[in-house]
């Protein structure tokens, strides 16, 4: 089956620092990956669509200079939260779309970011 690994599962950082979250498809190639953010007691909101070898497409209201997405290979996408602030504290989940086969997204386990 398709497996997506997300790392780290949780991170605590100081305000002003940058944090990188990795999303890897372990046993399949993913030309497209999606990044979601979930604030407490709210649903998952799509932040951006990450396409291998090209620039990410950001949803309205998501700052592309603050949330840097790099999808340099077919198995890895990274989300970097730059100059993190407490309001960036959230649960970040990635998902990967298998290039071939059924149209199904596989989700990572999520990364909980706490900015002090």
Partner 1 sequence: KQEVTQIPAALSVPEGENLVLNCSFTDSAIYNLQWFRQDPGKGLTSLLLIQSSQREQTSGRLNASLDKSSGRSTLYIAASQPGDSATYLCAVLNNDMRFGAGTRLTVKP
The least CB distance from residue 94 to partner 1, in Å, is 10
Distance CA(52)–CA(74), nearest Å, equals 6
Six-digit token string for 51: 């396409």
Q: Which is nearer to partner 1, 48 or 84 (CB)?
A: 48
How big is the chain, counted in residues? 116
Which residue's CB is nearer to partner 1, number 43 or number 54? 43
CA proximity to 61, closest of 46, 51, 39, 80: 46
Q: Which residues bind partner 1 (CB under 8 A)?
A: 34, 36, 42-46, 49, 91, 93, 95, 102-105, 107-110, 112
30 forms beta bridges with 98
């Amino acid at each position: 089956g398709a497996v997506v690994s997300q790392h780290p599962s949780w991170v605590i950082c100081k305000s002003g620092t940058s944090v990188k979250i990795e999303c890897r498809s372990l046993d399949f190639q993913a030309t497209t990956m999606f990044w979601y953010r979930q604030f407490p007691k709210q649903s998952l909101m799509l932040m951006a669509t990450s396409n291998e070898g090209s620039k990410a497409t950001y949803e309205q209201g998501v700052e592309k200079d603050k949330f840097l997405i790099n999808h340099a290979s077919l198995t890895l996408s990274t989300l970097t939260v730059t100059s993190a602030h407490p309001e960036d504290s959230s649960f970040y989940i990635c998902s990967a779309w298998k290039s071939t086969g059924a149209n199904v997204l596989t989700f990572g386990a999520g990364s909980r970011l706490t900015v002090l």
